Structure 1
């Protein structure tokens, strides 16, 4: 998004232009209001924030010229710097304050003495300009602070949920991440793809709770996943590493005196093995099983029952992966409970599998990862009336066929 303001408001950074895709409009949802407002005040890349206060100044001057002497409008010019304070930068507002005062003196002097507004309105216009400039300085300072916090939040989001290159690990993928907090950019949901010598691994999960504690737990699990998924040949060993990391993280938070020592995470762990093209290994940790979506319909890829990460000590043993056959035209759909637990006005849950099956029956192209993720996103928001009770993640992956895809610095075919 472009955040450059030419002389109006706080400076911002250029970002490269990216061609919008099916999910691009939701990437803009978390931007500060200040940025969105300034974008509305740009035409062909140039700021036009100065136009509304200038038009107002001219309108008041012309209206005052055409009114009778007993009814003067020139004192209304105090509204000009007030309008500029909400749209322009500090220097722009100060310029309009001076211009308004000068226009007032010229217009008032052009009338006979008995019809002049006088010194009282002169003081009003001068004081209004000063207050408007001060208010603009406060607004610009707050916008700079909001933009800085937004950049910090974006950095945290990109650290926890790192950007995934197209075709990463030999997979076509598309993800939607929506937080229940409209001002947050990251929450307790997490996902990642990690290619490696033992196949490409995928992790999608949801940390119990909200706030920074959930973000910390998600970051800890993702860090462990990125290392274990690359080095460990056995998917069950990767799962054990994740379980151990969750327990260690809880122990650390308890040692710090925090009250989130019972935190856990649900997750689904996948492996796309290199030795079998149409196969996927699935492990579940208290999470919704993935759906295989293709032109032939929708089916559930269940696996052995497993407790959420952090509760492994209560299980009889670690869950075992189950291998499923997956056709080349099938996409695996993974969602968090922000999708499955969305309710409509009557309290009914969102019928994910039924809705997806209906859409694919009408248009088999809906099974493509980007279209599928967008369809589930829109259906979830529509079913919930635009409200999210929990963080919501939709992640769709499918093997690439007949094309080379980057894998950790080398090519896999």
Structure 2
């Protein structure tokens, strides 16, 4: 507030001391205009009143306040402009309050849908990152969640076709289906088939009226990580393959027989293969969605995830995620064209006991 006050004082003093044919009084309107950029209507109105008084003081100093029409017009004009600035301040504050309410409801809904993954599940240390493409959103069409089973941990990472808030409904549906059925099936293949039926049923019930049901599907990667066995079992439903960081090496774990994405009208016909690979203590498994690998720089070059990750193979999951976030946003100029999710899972020495419970992924 000192700046607009000082501005009023300086303009008034200079206007009094310059030649009589030079009129700087109209510049006083700058003070309330600047105040409106950081203050509310009451303080803006106060500065506006002071500018009007300052202009009147200048007219009184020269003895022309009530005798010269031009001075009276300047006072009236300052009064009208200050009142308009205060009015727009009031409108802005009301809209800001409405936006704050909407944002609080949105954040509550987003937290209910995607709750944070704990830093540790059994013998797994986990860190996750979620970057939504939609402005002012924390979630979109990408999803990830995990749950404990009797002998290990099951996880899913997926990507709904589309981006932003329009894909949240399908994302929420698949998360709910996974949470409900993850521990009911002995194999990942059976779990994938059940999830596919859930997605097809949802699309048939809610998307069919749009006329483009064939364009809706969800890529997904299902993982089962046993507590005792140093391995990972994986079923790939059209999702980008994970990266395995082991002994200063980065390997892409590609399924030789991936299934179609979920919701493709049971195209897989129940034929979901299960791939198994080694996952030793100290290894890190990196899961991601195509919003990461399809992020482009100003020249249209895709983000080289495997190449960049090779720099940080010795980092723990938290440090790795910090490096990836900074590097990815720098690559795409700070704005992603699609939702992006990354999860880093590191196997550590097993603890004396394993907590059971349901853990969900968060928007960070």
TM-score computed with the length of structure 2 as normaliser: 0.87
Can you give the 5+ residue segments of structure 2 that lack an aligned partner in the other structure? 360-364
Q: Does 1:280 align with 2:247?
A: no
For residue 186 of structure 1, report the CA deviation from its aligned partner.
2.2
For residue 187 of structure 1, report the CA deviation from its aligned partner.
1.6
Q: State the alpha-carbon separation in 2 of the partners of residues 91 and 328 from structure 1.
A: 62
Q: Does structure 1 retain, via aligned residues, the 8 Å contact 2:117–2:128?
A: no
Q: State the alpha-carbon separation in 1 of the partners of residues 347 and 8 from structure 2.
A: 62
Root-mean-square deviation (CA, aligned residues, Å) is 2.7
Structure-2 change in CA distance of 1:108 and 1:215 (3 Å): same
SS in 2 for 1:165: coil
For residue 174 of structure 1, report the CA deviation from its aligned partner.
1.9
Q: State the alpha-carbon separation in 1 of the partners of residues 27 and 354 from structure 2.
A: 65
1:330-376 deviation per Cα after TM superposition (whole angstroms, max 9, x unaligned): 1110111112223445554333223322x04xxx433x212222333
For residue 285 of structure 1, report the CA deviation from its aligned partner.
0.5
Structure-2 change in CA distance of 1:54 and 1:198 (3 Å): farther
Q: Does 1:341 align with 2:294?
A: yes
- From 91, 95, 107, the equivalent of 1:154 is 107
Q: State the alpha-carbon separation in 2 of the partners of residues 334 and 96 from structure 1.
A: 55
Structure-2 change in CA distance of 1:112 and 1:191 (3 Å): same
1:120-150 deviation per Cα after TM superposition (whole angstroms, max 9, x unaligned): 1110111112111101011112222222232
Q: State the alpha-carbon separation in 1 of the partners of residues 306 and 136 from structure 2.
A: 30
Q: Does 1:376 align with 2:327?
A: no
Can you give the 5+ residue segments of structure 1 that lack an aligned partner in the other structure? 1-49
For residue 280 of structure 1, report the CA deviation from its aligned partner.
1.7
Q: Does structure 1 retain, via aligned residues, the 8 Å contact 2:188–2:234?
A: no
Structure-2 change in CA distance of 1:168 and 1:275 (3 Å): closer
- From 36, 47, 57, the equivalent of 2:8 is 57
The higher-RCO structure (CA 8 Å, 6+ apart) is 2
Match of 2:281 in 1: 328
Match of 2:247 in 1: 295
- From 342, 345, 350, the equivalent of 2:303 is 350
Match of 1:226 in 2: 179
For residue 318 of structure 1, report the CA deviation from its aligned partner.
2.8
SS in 2 for 1:267: strand
Greater Rg by CA: 2
Q: State the alpha-carbon separation in 1 of the partners of residues 157 and 358 from structure 2.
A: 23
